[in-house]
Amino acid sequence: MPKSEVTASLDQVRETVTGVIADIRERGDDAVRAYSEKFDKWTPESFRLSDEEVEKIIASVPQQVIDDIRFVQDQVRTFARHQLDSLREFEVETLPGVRLGQKHIPVQAAGAYIPGGRYPLTASAHMTIVTAKVAGVPRVVACTPPIHGEIPAATVAAMHLAGADEIWLLGGVQAVAAMAVGTDTMRPVNLVAGPGNAYVAEAKRQLFGEIGIDLFAGPTEILVLADERADPFVCAVDLLSQAEHGPDSPAVLITTSRELAEQTVAEVERLLPGMPTRDFAGPAWRDHGQVHVVDTLDELYALADEFAFEHVEVLTAEPRLALERMSQYGALFLGEGTCVSFGDKVIGTNHVLPTRGAARYTGGLWVGKYLKTVTYQEVTDTDSQALLGRLCGRAARVELFEGHARSGDVRAARAAGDELPWNTA
């Protein structure tokens, strides 16, 4: 797409999202209902599902699907709990009677957006809701759109089993805006997480600051790193596995073998026509697919870090070398036995990951995103109060903050009898 068309498209997305958010701020539920009718042809009496409705919907889901959802959520829950265990609260005495501490407090309400446009992304319920609940978030509001006027039963089941406190059949900008600003029927949340289309991503961008968000998400990306030992068939299958997310999803191969590069391209061209999702995967490979041949593994890892992609699959003789050589990626998938699709669907790590180069400054969604790391301090020793009070007075006056200085002076005066020449009373 020419740059001018891309810019025009982005401008249209921004303008549309700005208008929807403003309207929902003004008209609340009436606006939400109007946009749900406009975009999803969906206007039930209540967008929020009752407990009875949830139970009825879950009863329609095959038992094997329910069992699989439970298994995958157990994997996500286990990994999130290990993440939580890695976070340490502490209190340390730095001077006599000076205690400094750190606590982790969960946000009090989180919104989980589970997409349902091209595909019902059931797994996104695991990633956003289970992780929030492990963090201790007391209220999780989960939204997902209807699909062609139908209730996505498996997604509703996943939302419920993950621990959602409220389940709403509501999609798009109207869902994100309602969760963020609140309406008469939906209390606002403090943070919104979850993937979505360009409109959902733009809504999160515009609302960031008023609420927290997980990260800015763009089209799904896959980078396959391969040496001459890799199987071109596996490379091709895995590249296409992510290309099917959408026509703008980049799929890139970097290899030290020209022969493997050529064979992989041939395999992609052979497999693509038979893919049920070729209408998405085909344009993605045509417009955003890349193949790079380099001379050495050092060049391979250096180029991979320049891409800073969301998913990096390492199909080399020693895949764990990537842990030492790379620093810019959303998630690594090491060895032929580990595909990106495992991370997307079943293995337990979070699939909400940075795209569009954001891996240069952030990782993906994790239990810590739902926690506020806060500090506290206490000074009970009079000698320390005097020491810090005098120091505060001097340091603040260097910066011309007389009010700060006087606050320190008072502590020194109370603790050690220091004079307060500025207090003429």
Residue carrying the six token digits 């199987």? 231
| Alpha-carbon distances of 145 from 37, 122, 186, 300, rounded to whole Å | 11, 12, 16, 41
CA-based nearest residue to 412, from 386, 391, 394: 386
Can you tell me the distance from the alpha carbon of 35 to that of 31, in angstroms, rounded to the nearest whole number? 6
CB atoms within 10 A of CB 374: 10
| Annotation says 160 is catalytic | no
Residue type, 30: D
235, 315 in Cβ contact below 8 A? Answer: yes
Length of the chain: 425
Q: Which of 202, 267, 310, 336 is catalytic?
A: 310
Q: Provide the phi-psi class of 61: left if phi over 0, else alpha when psi is between -120 and 50, else beta.
A: beta
Inter-residue contact 363 to 127 (CB < 8 Å)? no
Q: How far, in whole angstroms, is CA 169 from its chain's centroid?
A: 21
Reading the block at residue 99, the tokens are 């205690």
Are the beta carbons of 177 and 35 closer than 8 angstroms?
A: no
Q: Which residue is it, tokens 């009718």? A: 37
Q: What share of the chain is helix, strand, coil (3-state, %, to 5)?
A: 50, 15, 30
At 107, which helix (H) or strand (E)?
none
Residue for token pair 């329910």: 66
Q: Is 93 a catalytic residue?
A: no
d(CA 237, CA 32): 41
Which helix (H) or strand (E) is 25 found in, with range? helix 3-27
Q: What b-and-e string marks burial along 270-296, b requiring 16 or more CB atoms within 10 Å of the CB?
A: ebbeeeebbebbbbbbeebbebebbee
Catalytic residue among 244, 311, 313, 336: 311
* Active site residue ranges: 310-311
